[in-house]
Amino acid sequence: MNTIPTPDAQDIKSALEQLSRDDLLALIQRMVQQHPDLAGLIVSKQPTATRKPRAPSNAELCRLQVEKIFRTTDRKTWGSEARAAEPLPDIVAIAEEYVEQQNFAEAAVLYEIIIRAIRDSYDSFRWHADEGQLDDVVEDCVEGLSNCLRGMHGNTAVRRQILQMLFDVYDFDTNLENDMLVMSDKVPAILVRSTTPEERRMIAKWVREAFNLDIDWYAGDVGEFCEDFYVLLLGL
């Protein structure tokens, strides 16, 4: 029986050279769909002597890569959280590059992808309270989002998206069965110091709705509630 010979490197190179740019892009997209781990080769850092501005990322490729990390990491043995967290800083580093280039909207998208993936899979990876590698990744993303807020002015829609994500992280963290915040302890200060008066009023509304609070700020004993950030924020 005749068999089709396996093409060598030169054959593959010659075939690729015959393809148009659009054909190459379509081929790469199909390859990534079949093998999501290839996305890391596309979005990873490119070491060069002089760093050029990074082109807009394909957020969907990053999303596929993050989803694959959580889908394929073994959750049945000790250390699963560390294994899931290990490759995530590579994507955080890409977002940090965008922050350095003041492409805050692109950075915010990547931070959000990482945070949402961790939040959605969090319970299935936590084996012991002494673990916390995923918490550390979220903290890095929170810091990155804070840098976006400080550097971004005028883009109301993106700023609101960032504030909502920070608030969601804080809300999620406060509902965990821990004695202290493990991933969002810097969020309260960010929401107060890096926001406009209008944004603080918006956040106060979110807090009131999320915690179902109805405080009389003119009552004599209101001070006893002020140890909690989310109550104090209502007074801003």
pLDDT, residue 227, reads 47
Report the C-alpha gap between 46 and 161 in whole angstroms: 29
Q: Are 144 and 187 in contact (CB under 8 A)?
A: no
- Residue (of 102, 172, 159, 111) closest to 138 by Cα position: 111
pLDDT, residue 31, reads 78
- Number of helices (H), then strands (E), belonging to the chain: the values are 12, 0
The owner of tokens 């995530």 is: 88
Q: Are 196 and 203 in contact (CB under 8 A)?
A: no
The Cα angle at residue 44 between residues 40 and 50, in degrees rounded to 5: 165
pLDDT, residue 49, reads 46
pLDDT, residue 105, reads 94
The conformation of residue 7, written as its DSSP 8-state character, comes to P
pLDDT, residue 22, reads 73
One digit per residue, pLDDT tens: the chain, 236 residues? 455 566 666 777 777 777 777 777 777 777 777 776 666 666 654 554 455 555 555 788 899 999 999 999 988 888 888 999 999 999 999 999 999 999 999 999 999 999 999 999 988 876 555 678 999 999 999 999 999 999 998 889 999 999 999 999 998 998 887 888 899 999 988 998 899 999 998 998 888 777 665 555 555 554 444 445 555 555 45
| DSSP per-residue codes, 111-146 | HHHHHHHHHHHHHHH---TT--HHHHHHHHHHHHHH
pLDDT, residue 36, reads 66
pLDDT, residue 222, reads 45
| DSSP per-residue codes, 48-71 | -SSPPPPPPP-HHHHHHHHHHHHH
The Cα angle at residue 172 between residues 168 and 174, in degrees rounded to 5: 120
CB within 8 A of 56, min separation 6: which ones?
A: 103, 106
pTM, to two decimals: 0.69
